[in-house]
Amino acid sequence: MTDARTSRRQGARGRAAVATALAWTVVLIGAGPIAAQQAPAPAAPAAYAIRNATIVPVTGPRIAGGTIVLRGGRIEALGAQVAVPADAQVVDGTGLFVYPGLVDAGTTLGLEEIGSVPGGNDTQELGDFNPHDDALTAVNPSSEIIPTVRISGVTTALTAARGGMISGQAAFIDLAGWTPQEMAIVPRAGMVVTFPRVTARRGGRRGGTDQPDQVDQQTRALRNYFADAKAYADIKARLAAGQAGTQQINLAMEAMVPVVRGESPVIVDVETADQIRGMLALADSFHLKVILRGAPQAWRMADTLAARHVPVIVGPITAAPRDEDPYDAIYANPGVLAHAGVQIAFQTATASDARNIAYNAALATAYGLDPEEALRALTINPARIFGVADRYGSLEAGKVADVIVTNGDPLDARTDIRYVFIRGQLVPRTDRNTRLYDQFRARPRQ
C-alpha cells in the first residue's frame, strides 16, 4: 500500500513538473512580443520648437520666419528673434504656417459613434426637461471619430446632448485625454435649450406635427420651467443669507440655478426670426445670458443682435436653405452678422462632420464673410464666447499650446495639416481611416 501511494505521488509530481515546464515554455516563447507590447513609450520631449515658420497669432500681425516654443502644455515664447532652447525638439517650419487649433462650437463629439446604431449614441434623454444632464459624463475619449477630427486641425469642441426643450449642460473640451475630466476645459459651458417652433413647410406640406397651438403650449411650459427655477434659486439665496426655513434638494433645479442667476449662458438652438424674438423676450424676463446657435435666419435681426451683444454660433453652412429664404441666405448669414458687429463662431452640429468645420467657414467667405473674420470665428471668437480667451483661441505666450502646423491656409481644402499639438503634446496623425488605408494597401497581391 505504501509503495502504491509513493508511486502515485511521484507520478503526480512528474505530471506537475511537465505542466510547469510547458507553462514556462509558453511564457518564454511569448516573452518577446509581450515584452515589446508592454515596453514603456519613449518619454515626450521637454519642449518643442517650431522654427522658421510663418506664425499666425490671429490676435496680432503675422510673424514671418518666426519661432514658437511649446513647453509644459503652454506657449513659452514666440517671435522672430526667439532662441531655440537646448532641450527642445526642433520642428523645421520652412514653408509652413503655425495657427491656433480650430474650434467646432457645436458638436456631439464623444457622445455619438454610429448614428444608425442606438447603442452607439448618448445624445438624448427621455422627457422635455433634463437640465441636470451633463454631457461631459457621457463623453467617450476613445471614440474613433475624435482622431479623424484632430487630423483635420480641430483641437477643441463644444459637445452637447440634443432633444427636448432643455437638453442639459454642454461641455467645452480639448480633443485629447484619457478621461472626460482630462479633456474638459469648461465642464459646464452652458445650458442647451431648443426654443419651440412651427415646423417649416416643405413642398406645400408640413414636415412635422408642431402646429401653432402646440408651439404656444410648449413656449408656456418652457417659460414656466424658468419661472420655477427662478423661484427655487431665490429660496436658495434667502436660506444662504440666514433666513429660517428648509429646502428640498431638486437636482434639475440645482442645475438651473447658475442659469437664472446669469452666471452660466443658455445656448439656444433656433432657426427662425420668430424663435429669436421669442427667446430674447424670455431672456429679458429672466435676465438670461443668451448664445444663439444654428440661427439660419439671424441675418434678419443682425442689427438687433449686435446692439444686444448676443453671439451667434452659425452652421452647419452646408445645409439647404429654408424654402421661404433666398437661395444664398444660409451661406451669406455669417457675413451679414459679422458685418453688423455680431460675434460669430461656427458649428457642424454633429460628430462625424466636425472634421469639415474649416470648410463651412470657407464656404461663408465665398458669400461675403471676410477671411480674417472667418479665421477668428474658428479660433478666438468661440474662446471669447465661452469665457476662455485668456487661455485659448490665439497664439500668445502663456496660453495653452493647442497649435496646428500647415502648408497653407486652413480654409483651403488643398491645405495639408502637418502637425497637431494639443496642450503642448504632439498628437499622432493617424486615425481609423489611415490604419485601414495602410492595412489594405499592404494586402498580398495575386
Q: Is residue 435 part of a domain?
A: no
Domain check: are 289 and 341 in the same one? yes
Domain check: are 198 and 340 in the same one? yes
Domain check: are 156 and 213 in the same one? yes
Which residues touch 146 (CB under 8 Å, ≥6 apart)?
A: 109, 110, 175
Domain check: are 184 and 316 in the same one? yes
Print the domain residue range for 421.
40-100+393-430
Q: Is residue 110 part of a domain?
A: yes
CB 233, CB 263: distance < 8 Å:
no
Full pLDDT tens readout for the chain, 446 residues? 444 444 444 454 545 444 444 444 433 444 444 444 455 556 788 999 999 999 999 999 999 999 999 999 999 999 999 999 999 999 999 999 999 999 999 999 999 988 777 777 878 888 899 999 999 999 999 999 999 999 999 999 999 999 899 999 999 999 999 999 999 999 999 999 999 986 654 444 444 446 778 888 999 999 999 999 999 999 999 988 888 777 788 999 999 999 999 999 999 999 999 999 999 999 999 999 999 999 999 999 999 999 999 999 999 998 888 888 899 999 999 999 999 999 999 999 999 999 999 999 999 999 999 999 999 999 999 999 999 999 999 999 999 999 999 999 999 999 999 999 999 999 998 888 888 888 999 999 87
Domain check: are 80 and 227 in the same one? no
Domain check: are 96 and 241 in the same one? no
Q: Is residue 446 part of a domain?
A: no
The CATH number linked to 412 is: 2.30.40.10
Q: Is residue 63 part of a domain?
A: yes
Q: Is residue 60 part of a domain?
A: yes
- Total domains present in the chain: 3
Q: Is residue 80 part of a domain?
A: yes
Which of left, alpha, beta for 52 (phi over 0: left; psi -120 to 50: alpha)?
left
Domain check: are 300 and 419 in the same one? no
Domain check: are 59 and 165 in the same one? no
Which residues touch 170 (CB under 8 Å, ≥6 apart)?
A: 135, 158, 159, 160, 188, 189, 190, 191, 192, 267
First to last CA, the chain: 68
Domain check: are 425 and 367 in the same one? no
Domain check: are 230 and 289 in the same one? yes
Q: Is residue 274 part of a domain?
A: yes
CB 350, CB 108: distance < 8 Å:
yes
Domain check: are 426 and 303 in the same one? no
Domain check: are 345 and 218 in the same one? yes
